[in-house]
Amino acid sequence: MATATAIAHPNIALIKYWGDLIPELHIPANGSISMNLEALCTHTKVSFDQALQHDDLVLNGKSMQGEAHNRVSNFLGRVRNLAGLSLFARVESENNFPMAAGIASSASGFAALALAASKAAGLELDEAELSRLARSGSGSACRSIPSGFVEWQAGHEDHDSHAHTIASANHWDLVDCIALVDREEKPISSSVGHALARTSPLQHARVVDTPRRLDICRTAILERDFNKLAQVIELDSNLMHAVMLTSTPPLIYWQPATLSIILAVQDWREEGLPVAYTIDAGPNVHLLCPAALQEQIVSRLQNLPGVRQVLTSHPGGPAVLDKPYASSESVSPAQNQA
Ligand code: PMV
């Protein structure tokens, strides 16, 4: 039996990935930039075991079947192909954040799985190779492999579509205050959303303008220019949600409380507070602010109607191996990917 355990953080997209050039490979229509979320993590153990007759997935202590299991099993198939292995694996994965909170766990999930499964299979992948592998599970997972502030270069095919660090986690002490909003409607998966993106007449304009927004966002991060960052991330989030709203059928992730938070953030900025919003494929609103403002923003958020809970996180590090490699086979010891 060969086992490895890895930890990865989810990330919040500052410039969004929405729509694919090649859907099967998750080659995106545009590049994107994100920040890893240190306080949130997925912890995943993978064991290739000759006693198993099929792959097993246990998520937060619950044995999974159906769609979630198939996605993980297909992913393990790719790892087996790369390593020339035929053994099935048991995958045990836990998130330290509530799934019901509506924070996407697929990015940290597939990043941790890519690292743990490749190590357990005896592969020594570098950061770009791991990022590509994670991308094949869920596009945005490629950004949870490198550390800190990360850019995913869109590329055109499998080998040139991967992510790298543009600034380390300690480069800029920003905090993401995540306002969790009540959700009544069933979530629509991002894979369905990516496929709908091309039905919006706005998607082409959004994609064509992305290199400009990427440049502004990258520069704002490197220069720690909060105003520049605030303007570009709000524009980018609004553009993605404009595409969603104008897809056929339209995709509406916002709840009334989502809009109330957006309006509150506009008022707070007019008051002079450095705070900016961004929203992924759900109703929750991420508020970025300098760490010194965290307490004030959290308490203001808690006073808004419809805000159920507020989570906070500083920028996070890369996907890392958790425990030394444990194997009865003679494979070289694992090292952290720090
Ligand atoms: O990686 P996916 O397929 O879950 O897509 C992520 C989509 C967004 O979260 C809305 C944007 C992004 O860049 O993360």
Instruction: Give the closest residue (by CA) to ligand 1 atom 9.
Output: 280
For residues 263, 270, 150, 309, the Cα torsion angle rounded to the nearest 10 degrees is -40
Question: What single-letter DSSP state applies at residue 160?
Answer: G
Q: Each residue of 174-206: pLDDT tens digit?
A: 999 999 997 655 678 898 999 999 999 999 999
Which band of pLDDT confidence, cut at 50, 70 and 90, is reported for residue 298? very high
Mean pLDDT of 93-115: 86
Residues with CB under 6 A from ligand 1: 13, 16-18, 32, 104, 106, 138-140, 190-191, 194, 280-281
Exposed, middle or buried: residue 64 (CB in 10 Å: 0-12, 13-18, 19+)?
Answer: middle
167: which strand partners? 149
Backbone angles phi, psi at 153, to 5 degrees: -80, 125
Residue type for position 87: L
Indicate the top mutation candidate among 9, 12, 16 to test ligand 1's pocket, ranked by most ligand atoms within 8 A of CB. Answer: 16
Q: Each residue of 27-51: pLDDT tens digit?
A: 999 999 999 999 999 999 999 999 9
> Distance from the CA of 89 to the center of ligand 1, in angstroms?
27
> Distance from the CA of 140 to the center of ligand 1, in angstroms?
5
Residue type for position 66: G
For residues 3, 65, 98, 177, the Cα torsion angle rounded to the nearest 10 degrees is 90
Q: Each residue of 210-266: pLDDT tens digit?
A: 999 999 999 999 999 999 999 999 999 999 999 999 999 999 999 999 999 999 999
Q: Each residue of 57-76: pLDDT tens digit?
A: 999 999 999 999 999 999 99
Residue 245 near residue 253 (C-beta atoms within 8 A)? no
Residue 176 CA to residue 156 CA, distance in Å, equals: 31
pLDDT of residue 105: 83
Let me know if domain 174-313 sits in CATH 3.30.70.890: yes
Q: Each residue of 108-126: pLDDT tens digit?
A: 999 999 999 999 999 999 9
> Distance from the CA of 23 to the center of ligand 1, in angstroms?
13
Apex 41 CA angle, 327 and 44, nearest 5: 25
178: which strand partners? 286, 311
Q: Is the pLDDT of residue 331 over 60?
A: no
Q: Is the pLDDT of residue 10 over 50?
A: yes
Residue ranges of domains in the chain: 2-169+323-335, 174-313
Indicate the top mutation candidate among 15, 42, 243, 280 to test ligand 1's pocket, ranked by most ligand atoms within 8 A of CB. Answer: 280
Smallest CA-to-CA distance from 116 within 267, 233, 2, 250 is with 2
Torsional class of 66: left (φ above 0), alpha (ψ -120 to 50), beta (otherwise): left
Long-range pairs, 199-206, Cβ under 8 A, ≥24: 199/247, 199/248, 200/242, 200/243, 200/244, 200/246, 200/247, 200/248, 201/246, 202/239, 202/242, 202/243, 202/246, 203/18, 203/19, 203/29, 203/243, 206/18, 206/30, 206/239, 206/240, 206/242, 206/243
For the domain bounded by 2-169+323-335, which CATH number is listed?
3.30.230.10
pLDDT of residue 220: 98
Q: Name the pTM for this structure.
A: 0.94
Q: Is the pLDDT of residue 332 over 70?
A: no
Instruction: Give the closest residue (by CA) to ligand 1 atom 4.
Output: 190
Q: Is the pLDDT of residue 300 over 60?
A: yes
Which band of pLDDT confidence, cut at 50, 70 and 90, is reported for residue 337? very low
